[in-house]
Structure 1
């Protein structure tokens, strides 16, 4: 997959091991027409990759700089028909505040609580994964022929057990 990204202040250059691992897992699991969520879209690299693999993507981030970077990546990679980009959060994640620290950002809306996805990718901090464990479960669509897929990344090995047990 060829991805075109503009340098920006948004998280996700494509060189970080967590991003590389996420891309490899997306190549393995994304199929055409899957409904997918990129939670914490950052630079948009994972959103664009899923779209280029044929998925329908909702890309959300609580950082306006990241939202702008994702929108730029979507346009730059000609996948606007497949990707919706929003400044939003999943469930009550905005209570955690901006990823760089700070107070809650209640002005950032949560996506609809009934929204369901075949695959969710979240390359974000461990504390957010843990906080959203129940929200991930609710948002993953499972059917008789497909179990929802959750790809988590963005945390170090010392947090892996806490994330997986959440």
Structure 2
């Protein structure tokens, strides 16, 4: 199927209004390329924020992109968009250069276009995430390289919650440990645990697409002798306790099964959890403590939190 990409160079002030116009014209979503992204300050402790390519961003202002199906009414739709944006000046909205460009896009182009933004990234003292289509040479002898193709599953390995979980696993996983990975996504945490010396990893996810992607990534990283991936909801597929349990999921879900989580962590074992927005930190800590966990460490990155807790 053919699609037309509308690209509009405008101002930060006009972004919301232009986005609304595009939605009303039939776009189900927009892409925003903001020139300010290049100058934004970020925490970069382990290089997890890799260099942005200036070629991907406008020199000034904001580019708002939308995609419309190529139909017989496309010309009229584009003219309506132009008029609606030009009319914003009547509402005292600065639309800047207001340059509109068009190009044709195929469905198959979209399926791989995102890969240009995903590169090797060192996310902890030892772990480096490398996309399967990139060539990478290790920079140290003890570096652990996880090759990853996230496919359609959430989890490129560079989101702050994933980074903190891997950093947490690096702190707590010992040779010969058993590990449970709840909500494995692309399998990156399970693979990391195996590389750190775990003898058995039980990974599970409710999303069948994630299960497929995780199994492929586990095989790709030659950890399928340690990691087994299951389709299941939370702890449904878990039969016995583990030395380490990791869960990178939503705070609300974490709080809903802290008692169950406590029961599958061996006495003296550790629970590493993230997916927690900063505002929920105290609630999650309270829920973990109420179930019997002792909080050992709280990690923070951007507005996200990870908690390492021990079962006494």
For normalisation by structure 2, the TM-score amounts to: 0.45
Other-structure match for 2:189? 46
1:66 is aligned, of 200, 206, 210, to: 210
Other-structure match for 1:80? 224
CA distance in 1, matches of 2:165, 2:234: 19
Where 1:160 maps in the other structure, the secondary structure is: helix
After superposition, the C-alpha distances for 1:36-93 in whole angstroms (9 at most, x for unaligned) are 00000001000000011111100000000110111011100001110111001234xx
Structure 1 runs (4+) greater than 6 angstroms displaced: none
1:111 is aligned, of 215, 237, 261, to: 237
What residue ranges of structure 2 are gaps of 5+ in the alignment?
1-143, 288-312
Other-structure match for 1:155? 276
How many corresponding residue pairs? 143
CA distance in 2, matches of 1:137, 1:20: 23
Q: Is the 8 A contact 1:118 1:141 kept in 2?
A: yes
1:164 is aligned, of 277, 285, 300, to: 285
Where 1:4 maps in the other structure, the secondary structure is: strand
More strand by share: 2
For normalisation by structure 1, the TM-score amounts to: 0.83
CA distance in 1, matches of 2:286, 2:154: 26
Instruction: Give the Å deviation of 1:7.
Output: 3.2
Where 1:3 maps in the other structure, the secondary structure is: strand
CA distance in 2, matches of 1:32, 1:89: 28
CA distance in 2, matches of 1:31, 1:7: 27
Where 1:118 maps in the other structure, the secondary structure is: strand
After superposition, the C-alpha distances for 1:88-120 in whole angstroms (9 at most, x for unaligned) are 1234xxxxxxxxxxxxxxxxxx124x5101100
Instruction: Give the Å deviation of 1:148.
Output: 1.1
CA distance in 1, matches of 2:233, 2:178: 17
What residue ranges of structure 1 are gaps of 5+ in the alignment?
92-109
Q: Is the 8 A contact 1:90 1:135 kept in 2?
A: no
Question: Is it true that 1:125 corresponds to 2:125 in the alignment?
Answer: no
- The alignment yields a C-alpha RMSD, in angstroms, of 1.1
CA distance in 2, matches of 1:165, 1:8: 36
Indicate the structure whose relative CO is greater, using CA pairs within 8 Å and at least 6 residues apart.
1
Other-structure match for 1:140? 265
CA distance in 2, matches of 1:16, 1:7: 12
Other-structure match for 1:99? none
